[in-house]
Amino acid sequence: MPRAHRLCLLLSSLALAAGCGGTAPPEAPASAAPPVPVAPVGIDWSRCQFPGLALPVPGKVIVVDGGQSVPDAEHGRESIRRVEVVVPGQVALLLTAPDATVWLVRASPETELVGVFASGEAPQRITGQRLGAHQLARARASGDDCGRYWPAADAGATLEEASQKVFGRPHSAVYRLRGGLAVIGTADEPPVE
């Protein structure tokens, strides 16, 4: 065998031997297991707050309980619930109903609505006159943790806690609709609480 072949064979053997012996290359670090998401305990109150509204809100916080479906409401359609506010000064409204609802709100010229929050098991909408800049509607049926019918036994929080978390203060009165209407601020319809 010529010398060049022997040298080539020797170098090849040495390269093979070097690759087979010695210490093993370091193992790649084991990747950490991805974090397991943990479901929050209780209500995510951040979904219940108005962007840009400082708490506590000024004035009175008034709750309107929509109660059961409005008489003569068509199954599967939104109920129309009317709220008239004739309270002078600043007022915040927490409107709550178990079924799909359009809240038709009218504030008197003496009333300044600082926030209107509608919450229910089914979709809620707010419409009307003199509503102010802060309106928020939430529904549990849409997967929103803050959408609840608050007077229900299984709401997960009390009506008092909802008023405190949404508006930064307890409510001063609770009204219940009669015949699809609540008039707030008249002697004819005093609050139930």
Q: Please state the domain extents for the chain.
A: 64-69+77-184
What is the model's pTM?
A: 0.75
pLDDT digit string (tens) for 120-152? 999 999 999 899 999 999 999 998 888 999 998
pLDDT digit string (tens) for 71-121? 666 777 889 999 999 999 999 999 999 999 999 999 999 999 999 999 999
**What is the layout of strands, in order, in the sheet containing 101-107?**
124-129, 101-107, 79-85, 181-184
HEC string of 111-138? EEEEEEEEEECCCEEEEEECCCCCEEEE
